[in-house]
């Protein structure tokens, strides 16, 4: 079976729906979440008629402080002419198919960000985790295959598809972090040559592997323009700052509110790269303009934007002007990474105009400034 490379697409400037009844359409799942809401704003401003699929399961997963309802209402106020939100559970195949079929005529793009995103929560209820992450993704792929197979399908995957294999890298300790020798092949970051086999993924990681592989398979087998972005830590000021998900936001929230933060494992020297939601969505825009079938890229902050827990605590204290109450537990989460930095070279080879525009300090400062009044109220 030949693999089609879809031709380039010019993204149009902001349009008035009254002037152009055939505006290009985009569907965004999880439209009230961090990456979903950033996607809505970005593509609405580019002139897309955006349909959000959102049912606020984050509130069920993590409690009312993680609810996406407020963000959905904010987006409806911000884009009254070219955004609408439909309350659909992606586990409902018929409802998903109905949304796609209704908008198939001008549909150019589906961005899939809806997920159960937490290691800890997944272990509490593996069936819900799998049906949301794996079955939900399959429902969306089937709806697009039958309704608009040439629409770009962008899937937010995760670096957890690599399981705990990064933990077997020859890391050494500094005063504040674990690090990889400069002459190691993965020192610039981990690329997609790392295996996803023979490792512990966590229940969450396993459900995301299933979704990731299925997105690739639909690209190859059905010749559809699909991409899996295997994200590192995704962050930004719209993150809810929930305890089980979004560690930079929750860390800053604890610094502001005085709540205690417990660091699990590795003496707080575990390292993550963090990519701002705006940079993630810019990568989506670039891929949609020049899509290909069954693409896979690691996407994170890379060497330009990474931090250890110990380093992040110091930055939060400096930015907030407050001491962050914290402690270190010797118990790490099963399968949790000791060190993970993404290699962005594969994506940059295909899309050389891509760049990381937010470093760690920039991200934390923005999280603080946008949320400080709300978190202290």
pLDDT beyond 90 at 225: yes
d(CA 273, CA 287): 21
Computed over every residue of the chain, the mean pLDDT equals 92
User: 66-92: per-residue pLDDT in tens?
Assistant: 788 999 999 999 999 999 999 999 999
pLDDT beyond 70 at 16: no
Other CB atoms within 10 A of residue 204 CB: 24
In a domain, 96, yes or no: yes
**Phi, psi of 307, deg, nearest 5:** -160, 150
Tokens found for residue 86: 């439909």
Q: Which positions ≥6 away from 113 have C-beta within 8 Å?
A: 28, 29, 30, 31, 33, 34, 35, 36, 39, 156
Q: What is the CATH number of the domain that holds 55?
A: 3.40.50.720
d(CA 243, CA 253): 10
The better pLDDT of the pair 332, 17 is held by: 332
Q: What is the domain extent for residue 211? A: 25-165+188-236+275-305+337-357
In a domain, 241, yes or no: no
| pLDDT score for 21 | 59
User: 306-339: per-residue pLDDT in tens?
Assistant: 999 999 999 999 999 999 999 999 998 877 899 9
User: 173-199: per-residue pLDDT in tens?
Assistant: 999 999 999 999 999 999 999 999 999
pLDDT beyond 50 at 3: no
Segment holding 138, helix H or strand E: helix 136-147
Question: Cβ(90)–Cβ(138) under 8 Å?
Answer: no
Distance of CA 48 to the CA centre of its chain: 21
pLDDT beyond 50 at 301: yes
Predicted structure pTM score: 0.92
The better pLDDT of the pair 181, 62 is held by: 181
Segment holding 233, helix H or strand E: strand 233-235
pLDDT beyond 70 at 343: yes
- Over range 258-273, report the average pLDDT: 95
In a domain, 9, yes or no: no
In a domain, 376, yes or no: no
pLDDT beyond 60 at 13: no
Q: How confident is the model at residue 238 (pLDDT cuts 50, 70, 90)?
A: confident
Q: How confident is the model at residue 15 (pLDDT cuts 50, 70, 90)?
A: very low
Rounded CA Rg of the chain: 20
> How many domains does the chain contain in total?
1
In a domain, 342, yes or no: yes
| pLDDT score for 242 | 66
In a domain, 195, yes or no: yes
At 190 the three-state DSSP class reads strand
- Over range 349-353, report the average pLDDT: 98
In a domain, 293, yes or no: yes
- Over range 148-170, report the average pLDDT: 97
Tokens found for residue 136: 């939900």
| pLDDT score for 127 | 97
Q: How confident is the model at residue 154 (pLDDT cuts 50, 70, 90)?
A: very high
pLDDT beyond 70 at 155: yes
In a domain, 145, yes or no: yes
d(CA 368, CA 363): 9
């Amino acid at each position: 079976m030949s693999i089609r490379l879809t031709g380039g697409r010019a993204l149009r400037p902001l349009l008035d729906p009254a002037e152009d009844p055939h505006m290009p359409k985009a569907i965004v799942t999880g439209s009230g979440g961090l990456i979903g809401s950033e996607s809505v704003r970005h593509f609405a401003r580019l002139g897309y008629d955006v349909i959000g699929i959102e049912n606020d399961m984050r509130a069920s997963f993590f409690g009312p402080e993680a609810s996406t309802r407020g963000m959905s209402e904010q987006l409806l106020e911000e884009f009254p002419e070219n955004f609408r939100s439909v309350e659909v559970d992606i586990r409902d195949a018929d409802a998903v198919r109905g949304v796609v079929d209704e908008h198939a005529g001008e549909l150019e793009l589906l961005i899939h960000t809806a997920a159960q995103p937490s290691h800890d929560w997944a272990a509490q209820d593996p069936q819900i985790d799998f049906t949301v992450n794996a079955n939900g993704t399959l429902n969306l792929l089937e709806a697009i295959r039958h309704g608009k197979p040439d629409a770009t399908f962008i899937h937010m995957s995760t670096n957890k598809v690599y399981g705990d294999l990064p933990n077997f890298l020859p890391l050494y300790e500094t005063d504040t972090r674990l690090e990889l020798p400069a002459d190691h092949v993965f020192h610039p970051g981990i690329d997609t040559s790392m295996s996803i086999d023979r490792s512990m993924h966590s229940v969450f990681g396993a459900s995301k592997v299933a979704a990731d592989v299925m997105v690739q398979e639909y690209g190859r087998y059905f010749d559809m323009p699909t991409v899996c972005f295997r994200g590192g830590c995704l962050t930004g000021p719209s993150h809810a700052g929930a305890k089980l998900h979004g560690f930079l936001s929750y860390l800053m929230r604890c610094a502001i509110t005085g709540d205690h933060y417990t660091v699990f494992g590795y003496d707080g020297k575990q390292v993550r790269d963090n990519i701002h939601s705006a940079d993630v969505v810019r990568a989506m825009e670039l891929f949609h303009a020049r899509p290909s079938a069954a693409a896979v890229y690691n996407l994170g902050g890379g060497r330009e934007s990474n931090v250890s827990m110990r380093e992040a605590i110091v930055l939060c204290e400096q930015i907030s002007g407050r001491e962050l109450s914290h402690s270190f537990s010797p118990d790490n989460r099963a399968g949790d990474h000791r060190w993970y930095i993404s290699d962005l070279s594969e994506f940059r080879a295909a899309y050389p105009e891509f760049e990381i525009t937010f470093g760690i300090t920039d991200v934390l400062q923005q999280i603080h400034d946008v949320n400080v009044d709300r978190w202290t109220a």
